Amino acid sequence: MQIGFIGLGNMGFPMAGRLLQEHDVIAFDTRSDALERVVALGAQAASSVKEVADRAETVMASLPSPAASVEAATGAAGVIEGSRVKRYVDLSTVGSRTAAQIHDRLAERNIVAIDSPVSGGVSGAENGALAVMVSGPRSEFDVIRKALEAIGRPFYIGDKPGSAQTMKLVNNILAANVLVATSEVVVMGVKSGLDPNVMIEVLNAGSGATSASRDKFPRAILPRTFDYGFATGLMVKDVRLYLDEAKALGVPADVAETIGRLWETAARDQGPDSDFTTVIKPLEKAAGVIVGPAGRPPSG
C-alpha cells in the first residue's frame, strides 16, 4: 500500500519508519531535518500536505494539537484539497468534537475521515507495539488494517466519528492519574526515609503496581534522565480535552479535575516542552527531597 504520512515528531517518525518496512511512504513535515531523516530510511519526500494528498489515496497524520490536525485536514492547502486522497487517518489525539468536525468537512469532498489515536509512547512506536484505536466505517478499517498492524495492535471502536478519540482520552486520563499518584506516594515514602528503588520493587510485586511504577519510574525518573519522550504540554492538552468532553457529557470529573490542576502546575513549573515524567519535580520541591539514588536531598 502507498501511504502518505504527515508529521514526523517523536511519535510520527518511528511510526513512519515502521510503515516503511512494508509499505511505500510519501512523507511531509514542516521541519526539513525530520523529512531528511525519513527520506534516508526510504520514504519519498513531499513539499506540502496537499502534495501528499495529491499522491496517495491513504493519508495518515501524527500532529501535536487539534488546531494542527484541523489545519492539515481542512486548511486551504490541506488534505481536503488533494486530488487523489480517499481516506484521512488521524493518529493524533484531538478529542471527539474535533474528529467530528474534520469528518464532516472531509465528507463534503467524499474523503473518509478515520480517527485513530495511538497509545504506547515512543518505545511502542519504535517497536510497532502501539494500541491503535480506530473509529470510522468498518469497510475502511478493513482496508487500512494491515497498515495499522505495522505500527501496533488495532482496536475497532465503532463507526461513530470521534469514538476512538473518546477511548484515547479515557486511556490518557488514567495514565495521567497513575503517573501523578505514583509520583506523590513515592515522594512521601522518600521523605519518610524509604529507598525509592525498593519502593518501586515492592509496588511492582504487589497490588500498588501501575504503568508508572513498572515503566516510567525505572526508565526515566529513578535514573533522573526524564527522557521518556512525551511532553508535559501534550499531557496537559489531553487532560483538558478529557475535561471538556466530560463537561459536555455532564458526567462527574472530580478526580480528573484534581489531576488536571497538578498537571497545569507541572507545565508552569517545568515548561510545556519538558518531559512529562518531570511532573514529579514540583512534588519533590514541595517535600524537599529528590527521588533518585538514595533519595538524596535537593542541592542548593
154 three-state secondary structure: strand
Q: How far is CA 129 from CA 42, 93, 97, 171, 230, in A?
A: 21, 17, 27, 16, 16
What per-residue confidence (pLDDT) applies to 241? 96
pLDDT at 292: 82
pLDDT by residue (tens digit) across 24-59?
999 999 999 999 999 999 999 999 999 999 999 999
Name the percent of the chain lying above pLDDT 70.
Answer: 97
pLDDT value at 295 more than 80: no
pLDDT of residue 298: 40
Indicate the pTM of the whole model: 0.91
pLDDT: which is higher, 191 or 294: 191
Q: Is the pLDDT of residue 299 over 50?
A: no
The full set of domains in the chain, from first to last, is 2-161 (3.40.50.720), 166-292 (1.10.1040.10)
Cβ neighbours of residue 39 closer than 8 Å, sequence gap 6 or more: 27, 45
Q: Cα separation of 101 and 99, whole Å?
A: 5
What does the pLDDT average to over 256-264? 96
**How is residue 214 written as a grid cell?**
513498572
Given a cut of 70, whether residue 277 has pLDDT beyond it is: yes
**pLDDT tops 60 at residue 296:** no
Give pLDDT, residue 37.
Answer: 97
3-state class (DSSP) for residue 90: strand
pLDDT one-digit tens code per residue, 220-247 = 999 999 999 899 999 999 999 999 999 9
Which residues are registered as beta bridge partners of 132? 118, 154
Q: What is the DSSP string of 3-45?
A: EEEE--STTHHHHHHHHHTTSEEEEE-SSHHHHHHHHHTTPEE
For residue range 85-101, what is the model confidence (pLDDT) as tens digits?
999 999 999 999 999 99
Nearest to 124 by CA among 75, 175, 167: 175
Cα–Cα distance, 215 to 194 (Å, whole number): 20
Strand ranges (E), the chain: 2-6, 24-28, 44-45, 58-61, 87-90, 112-115, 118-119, 130-135, 152-158
* Cell reading at 145: 488494517
249 — pLDDT class (breaks 50, 70, 90): very high
